[in-house]
Structure 1
Amino acid sequence: MINKKRIQNQSCWILHHRPYRETSNIIDVFTKEFGRISLIAKGARSAKSKFRGLLRPFSPLSVSWISNSNLGTLIDIEVDGNPILLFGDSLLSGYYLNELIIKLLHKDDSQNEIFDLYTSTIIELSKTNNIAPILRNFEIDLLKLIGYEINLDSEYITGDPLEASNLYEYSPGLGFEKTKKKTGLMIFHGDEIQLIKLKGFQSKNVLKSANRLLRNTIAFHLDGKILKTRKVLEELRKYDK
């Protein structure tokens, strides 16, 4: 017999929802205390549903559900603050964060720090058009919190400190190694690595290097999963040039 448990009034964000059967939705929810969970919102697409209009991303919510194996049942949801208004690239970037959370975090694993990181990043996205540094900061912090931190201090083989005057080749999942190569997808200047560590993204070159480093690191840990939102963002950047 499956042991059902009622969970009440948990702070959350909606990450994604998809149709289920004729009138229901399955929603991916990110909660502070229970991490990422999936719930059935029964009748959510019917005209008289009490959930109608509430199952939206980027709106702070309080949710209650009945746990049931891998898929719980939503029983109540309430607005828990003002919605975060995102537009254009900021909106697409918000969906990118959602996709990272869905694909990198395990279900039913409490992630208080990541919840707070996500919340603060969504708020930041609503306040500026300078999006790239915000995304790079989020990626660096997220990788650290899920145990995939990039070692920006020392070489992975020798343990020698990374020096500003040297060139280094990066291997995702391993780290940096001193190299004589001058160019290459995973070749980085030591001074740029030091600035990435400090999140010194005032320089466009450092920001581009951070993007290259983090894009390939995240791709490695996704193990073949494709980030649809990142692909769209990169396509849009081509037209901006």
Structure 2
Amino acid sequence: MGPAAQFSTKDRILGAAEELFALHGFAGTSLRQVTSKADVNIAAVNYHFGSKENLVNEVFRRRMDVMSALRLSQLERALSAHPGQLRPILAAFVEPALAMALDRNGGGAFVRVIARAYAEKNDSLRRFLSDHYGHVLRDFGRAMAACLPDLDKETLYWRLDFLAGALTYAMADFGVIKRPQGVSEAQHRAQAAAELIRFAEAGFHAGGGRPTASPDPSEA
């Protein structure tokens, strides 16, 4: 079996697994279903991935490697062209993710796979993502911290976590604001990105520090 055939088989398995994970979740999808959809035998799955757990990880790696590279490349350009400005950093975090969600080559299925990961709380996958992509969040955290010197690190990471959650929601296009008639999908996503970036910028610039207890009215 030549390299091209190997790539084709591996890619077919990943594509089939992504679609099935999106439909049925990780626990609800069997390797037999994957092999049937990909039209391969179980030996091919074992050869390329070794286990179902590793197959799940590789479905994420296929998308996350590309998205992370785009994010870091855009971040580097933002820091060079707009030093000290928060909005271009937020754009570097948001725009590649929304572009991936718009990707006709399975982007929508992968967004549903992300939703499954949230719902099923897959600890193994969480460790895999932290180990392989945690550096991306740390790079963005450092870049944001340089723009927000008065914001303590814990508050910054809370807000970055909230941004990641809001971004996932926007990627899923699950909100109450639907694409208006006559507006293309690309235009709708571009507006979603612009609104989320503006919202996030205001949130990151809000006063920092730990919340204080409300005053007791009886002491007034």
Both structures adopt the same fold (TM-score exceeding 0.5): no
Structure having the larger proportion of residues in helix: 2
Structure with more relative contact order (C-alpha pairs < 8 Å, separation 6 or more):
2
Band the TM-score falls in, shorter-chain normalisation: under 0.3
Structure having the larger proportion of residues in strand: 1
Normalized against structure 2, the TM-score is what? 0.27
